[in-house]
Structure 1
Amino acid sequence: MRSLLLSLAWIGLLGAPLAQAQSGWPYWDHYAARFLNSQGRVIDPDRNSMTTSEAQSYAMFFSLVANDRDSFERIVRWTGQNLADNDLAKNLPAWSWGHKDDGSWGVLDPNSAADADLWIAYSLIEAGELWHQPDYDKTGRALLSLIVREEVSTIPNVGTVLLPGRTGFHTEAGRWILNPSYLPLPLLTAADHFAPGGPWRQMAQALPGWLQQTSPAGYAMDWVECGVKSCFPAGGPAGGTARGSYDAIRVYLWAGMTDRQTPEAARLEKVFAPAFQYVKTHPAPPEIVAADGNVVSASVPVSFSAVFIPFFRSSGDRVTVSRLEQNVLAQFDPSSGLLGTPPRYYDQNLALFVFGWQEQKFRFAPDGTLRVPWKK
């Protein structure tokens, strides 16, 4: 079978709706054509046309990888004006923006989303370096400092952590709520490179320990809680039963894309060895897993198979990679140039990370900094 790279390149260029690729990365072009408006706002049609800081942060990263400076500039401008009170250097972005009850459009929830904040800071700093734009670098570093002041906490006997947002995740003494997918190891490592002496190295060092505590069966959880002595799986801010699903799936993606020479990478791989073994020995990854490792739902979202490709490709497991690629190709829609019918926002973003990594549009260096082929 032809590799996913060659198959997607052929289908994307010859069968997709865009007459010409705009950036040299067809999948990004198809995504932008469907989800990114002319102002630089990423729109999720399945959530009442809502926009999130997550969506904006991912779009910044992908447009940077694609060397699409026009889109990057529009995304940054819209995000600053509408989510950060006109100044990303001074205000953490609100996490959601959309159609309000009074009929107007604006911020729906002013709380921040720390993972989006970290991706935005990372992309701005890298854009400043790669495009020689000091204003981007300055804004990104200022935002990184804001994250440290407003979203970083130290838990006794656990270590330094990134809280999921500015408020609502440490509401009482001795209790912290965390989201494992909000801490990509390459970004923590890069933040330490950008701002030596900050909390980022300690955060990266603490990560495998509390992930192991909260993944007793070797599966990442969507949400976890920490006390003053240890951490454990939990239902998150809304309560409920601990599970690993749509949030947690990103933990495996970040681990798979992390350079093997990055400190702590081997420890993360060991923590999630049971999850990787499940994918290796089953047709596809599950949709929902309980904290004890029991599969709650084996239904497979279109992007979940793609998520594990970087890990198994880095491991040299061609058999598993080929099976996962076939799962993904079966969901590819030539009429849209995207995954699934209709294509969903979240699936496409996971796919963009995977396809971009697999096509070597980008790599994370051992220190977490970005490597792109158009910048030698």
Structure 2
Amino acid sequence: MMQRRRALAALSLLPAGLALPAMAQSSLGGCMPQDDWRSFAARHIQPDGRVIDFDTPQQQSTSEGQSYGLFFALVHDDRRRFERVLAWTETNLCGGSLAQHLPAWQWGRKTEGGWGVIDPNPASDADLWIAYALLEAARLWEVPAWRTLGLALLALVEREEVITLPGLGRMLLPWSRNVASGPVWRLNPSYLPLQLLRRFQQEKPTGPWKEIADNTVRMVVDTSPQGFTPDWCAWATEQKAFVADPDKGTVGSYDAIRVYLWAGMLHPQEPARAALLKSLYGPRRVIERPQAPPEYVDTATGAVRGTGPAGFSGALLPYLKAQGASAALTAQQARIPVDLGGTAAVPAAPLPYYERMLLLFGQGWLDGRYAFGRNGQLQPQWRPACPSTRTA
């Protein structure tokens, strides 16, 4: 009975217009397939809560990986794993206190031998996702201490990673202010999911988050002249405008793919949704030719090259759904192996950490396992997990 009440409560929070797939529309007493989460956790999450990217020489763990691990443990009502991922993160990346230290972004095998923090600098996108996961876990699992911890982390972000850029206003830097300098300030559009900013805006109405959200929308629109967003961009103080990143130029690829993902998952009543989707027309235009998502795009000219991996197709599923591109949506699902939620007939070979994360985000949202409310709240579809159907 408790599981049924929780399922009904979750269903009541789904945004208008978000239809659940046939599997999820079955009896509330039914189960929710979670093979993709089980498979990811079995390969990439150690019993102690460390999320590992095996496709790096350092066998690294990153604050990004830990933050996504927390988010998906919450999406799948996996509280034990959430607690372990949080404990490992706090102990190994935060000097024992997430309330006092922003997480180091990289941990792994050191060149001089042994294991530990490789780069102590924080990555602000991970810091946002960790704070968000804590706030939402506190609300959904009714653990007030996690809200306190999430707010403490958010205060650190505001103090150490938010800056007032001349001619623009308050903005989130990709890293701490003490390693940044002008007059050209580097920014990463994929670090700023509007859902998270809205949730922080609701939590702290007098904070910087509405201004940061407004500036994020402006950044995405202004840096997408051909409908594609870049991995990196910059704010030039002298021109008072967004310009090409001084190091990465105008390329859009493995970072930028998340911008379309975040935009596609916005609640239909999000005020900026229409403007963002209108400005990000590039991927739809290319895919409807039809062809696979490009691996690289010159966002200044619209020129594309390479074929993006299956994870790119997974990331674009919510975007294509939001754009009403049903044929393109079906075509991209056909690039995803069936045992990862797609319709490709071939079994899935082991995919890299990042691709699996993109698929967990995109396919999970499309399947109705979670959604984001108008104010950014997580709306999970909590139901009992189906028995695993994997044979390997």
TM range (shorter): 0.7 to 0.9
Code of the residue aligned with 1:177 in structure 2: it is R
In structure 2, relative to structure 1, the CA distance for the partners of 1:348 and 1:339 (3 Å cut) is: farther
Contact kept? 2:162, 2:177, Cα under 8 Å: no
Consecutive unaligned residues in structure 1, runs of 5 or more? 9-20
Contact kept? 1:169, 1:178, Cα under 8 Å: no
SS of corresponding position for 1:102: coil
1:221 and 2:230 are equivalent in the alignment: yes
From 366, 372, 375, give the equivalent of 2:374.
Answer: 366
Contact kept? 1:40, 1:75, Cα under 8 Å: yes
Moved more, 197-206 or 272-281: 272-281
Partner Cα distance (2:109, 2:180) in 1 = 29
Match of 1:232 in 2: 243
> For 1:174-213, what aligned pairs fall within 5 Å after superposition?
174-213=183-222
Partner Cα distance (1:288, 1:115) in 2 = 22
Match of 1:53 in 2: 63
From 172, 193, 207, give the equivalent of 1:162.
Answer: 172
Q: CA deviation at 1:27?
A: 0.9
Partner Cα distance (1:167, 1:273) in 2 = 33
> For 1:248-259, what aligned pairs fall within 5 Å after superposition?
248-259=256-267
Code of the residue aligned with 1:184 in structure 2: it is P
For normalisation by structure 1, the TM-score amounts to 0.88
Contact kept? 1:154, 1:160, Cα under 8 Å: yes
From 92, 104, 108, give the equivalent of 1:98.
Answer: 108
1:327 and 2:335 are equivalent in the alignment: yes
1:352 and 2:360 are equivalent in the alignment: yes
Deviations 1:1-46 (A, max 9, x none): xxx96799xxxxxxxxxxxx9x952211110000000110011111
SS of corresponding position for 1:46: coil
Q: CA deviation at 1:319?
A: 1.5
1:83 and 2:93 are equivalent in the alignment: yes
Partner Cα distance (1:102, 1:259) in 2 = 48
1:142 and 2:149 are equivalent in the alignment: no
Contact kept? 2:228, 2:297, Cα under 8 Å: yes
Match of 2:268 in 1: 260
Partner Cα distance (1:7, 1:130) in 2 = 24
1:113 and 2:135 are equivalent in the alignment: no
Contact kept? 2:199, 2:377, Cα under 8 Å: yes
Contact kept? 1:24, 1:66, Cα under 8 Å: no
Moved more, 324-333 or 362-371: 324-333
Partner Cα distance (1:250, 1:241) in 2 = 18
Q: CA deviation at 1:364?
A: 0.3
Moved more, 280-289 or 358-367: 280-289
Code of the residue aligned with 2:119 in structure 1: it is D
In structure 2, relative to structure 1, the CA distance for the partners of 1:302 and 1:353 (3 Å cut) is: same
From 44, 55, 60, give the equivalent of 1:35.
Answer: 44
SS of corresponding position for 1:328: coil
Q: CA deviation at 1:280?
A: 2.7
From 265, 275, 296, give the equivalent of 2:283.
Answer: 275
1:153 and 2:189 are equivalent in the alignment: no
Higher relative contact order (CA 8 A, sep 6+): 2
In structure 2, relative to structure 1, the CA distance for the partners of 1:253 and 1:169 (3 Å cut) is: farther
Partner Cα distance (2:379, 2:347) in 1 = 26
In structure 2, relative to structure 1, the CA distance for the partners of 1:274 and 1:101 (3 Å cut) is: closer
Match of 2:142 in 1: 132
Contact kept? 2:232, 2:249, Cα under 8 Å: no
Q: CA deviation at 1:72?
A: 0.2
In structure 2, relative to structure 1, the CA distance for the partners of 1:24 and 1:133 (3 Å cut) is: farther
Code of the residue aligned with 2:164 in structure 1: it is T
SS of corresponding position for 1:349: helix
Deviations 1:229-258 (A, max 9, x none): 1011225xxx24330000000000000011
Partner Cα distance (1:294, 1:341) in 2 = 32
Fraction of identical pairs, as percent: 40
Q: CA deviation at 1:49?
A: 1.1
Partner Cα distance (2:212, 2:88) in 1 = 31
For normalisation by structure 2, the TM-score amounts to 0.84
Give the root-mean-square deviation of aligned CA atoms: 2.5
> For 1:273-352, what aligned pairs fall within 5 Å after superposition?
273-329=281-337, 340-352=348-360
Give the total of aligned pairs: 353
From 68, 76, 83, give the equivalent of 1:73.
Answer: 83
